[in-house]
Structure 1
Amino acid sequence: MSRPHIPFAVADVSAFAKSLRSQLAGRESLPSHVELLNMLAKAGGHRNFQHFRAGAIAGPMMRETEPRLDSAEVEQVLRHFDAQGRMMRWPGKTNHQLLCLWAIWARIPSGERFSEAEINAFINAGHSFGDHAILRRGMVDEGLLARTPDGRVYRRIEQVPPPEGQAVIREVLRRGTRE
């Protein structure tokens, strides 16, 4: 059985190179083949190589059908945001937490590097319950933000939110622009 050929492209080659360099700098020896694949995938904004591979293989199959929006879930998630588009509380359900993180992620400018204090300012602007650390950690864990090993520099990882995430982002940003 032959291996599928998986194309690899990144939106920002400079951010990709910096991420890869920082991952390699923390090593004392050359990475193995599998470790290098994981480093490349992470620098490209994926959790690991398996996550990248699964998306690349499923991608053509997924594009054949129009993604369906779960509007009931979107409505449930939007209950966690106030009239100004700020998150009021951290949801209990994991899938709702991720959709809320997308709304905070959308407030962070793309293509820039930020200190921890700067990233906290963007996060604090998007919520009112006073726990920026859980939101920052959640975005890093979910692959929405990348940070250096020492936690001093953060950057937004560019990707396309799922349909529900896009709907939550649209509504939260709309609420934030109302007078």
Structure 2
Amino acid sequence: MTRTIFPYAAPDVSTLARALGRELEAQDRKLGHVQLLNLLTRAAGFRNFQHFRAQFDAADELQRQPEPEPVADLQKVARVARYFDGAGGLTRWPKKASHRVLCLWVLWSRVPAGQEMSEKPFNEWLAAHHGFGDHALLRRELCDHGLMTRTRDGRVYRRIEQKPPPEAVALIRALAPRRAA
């Protein structure tokens, strides 16, 4: 039989001491294990040990339940997809910041994972994936948004592995057929 450990905490130790003192003074005999548990939990503000345990079990159950997956805004994904041409290349830089971030996630998804690239090959790679001629902007934005890292001297670039937000995942999936064609 496994024993469950219940962390015990009282909001105010002074109130706890006074409550314990009153309860112990009222007793005329030595208390058993269950009576001591009830005494301690009443002093902490619970009705009895069963109430304390039920509160702990309920909080534990709530923590174990997975949070629902956030849902992607598909209208936003459709709007951002318009920034990409039929081949999946980025045609222009969006004015809206939230659209720019999603475009960066698409570029991030195409950067080879776990591979270091020096500045010149990375610039060439970026130039092949956009059509508005500003690879320096894209390179800087990828690093500023924490999607890429670069050495202090800017010579080596590497993709930072992380989970994209739901809209980015939906956009990457929506643009995948364009790249395959």
Task: Give the structure-1-normalised TM-score.
Answer: 0.63
- Alignment gaps of 5+ in structure 2: 1-62
- Residue 149 of structure 1 aligns to a residue whose secondary structure is coil
- Find the structure with the greater CA-based Rg: 2
Greater RCO between the two (CA within 8 Å, min separation 6)? Answer: 1
Are residue 76 (structure 1) and residue 61 (structure 2) matched? no
Are residue 141 (structure 1) and residue 168 (structure 2) matched? no
1:13-162 equivalences in 2 (<5 Å): 63-162=66-165
Structure-2 change in CA distance of 1:153 and 1:64 (3 Å): same
Percentage of pairs with the same residue: 50
| Matched-pair contact (CA < 8 Å) for 1:107–1:122 | no
Could you give the per-residue CA deviations for residues 63-102 of structure 1, whole angstroms, max 9, x where no partner exists? 5112111001001100100111001000001010000001
> Which contiguous aligned blocks of 4+ residues in structure 1 show a shift greater than 6 angstroms?
none
Task: Give the structure-2-normalised TM-score.
Answer: 0.62
Aligned counterparts of 1:93 and 1:61: Cα–Cα separation in 2: 38
- Residue 100 of structure 1 aligns to a residue whose secondary structure is helix
State the partner residue of 2:6. Answer: none
Aligned counterparts of 2:179 and 2:145: Cα–Cα separation in 1: 24
- Alignment gaps of 5+ in structure 1: 1-59
Query: How much has 1:122 moved relative to structure 2?
Result: 2.0
Could you give the per-residue CA deviations for residues 86-137 of structure 1, whole angstroms, max 9, x where no partner exists? 0100000101000000111111101111101111122122111111111110
State the partner residue of 1:174. Answer: 177
How large is the RMSD of aligned CA atoms in angstroms? 1.7
- After TM superposition, the structure 1 stretch with the greater mean CA deviation from structure 2, 99-108 or 60-69, is 60-69
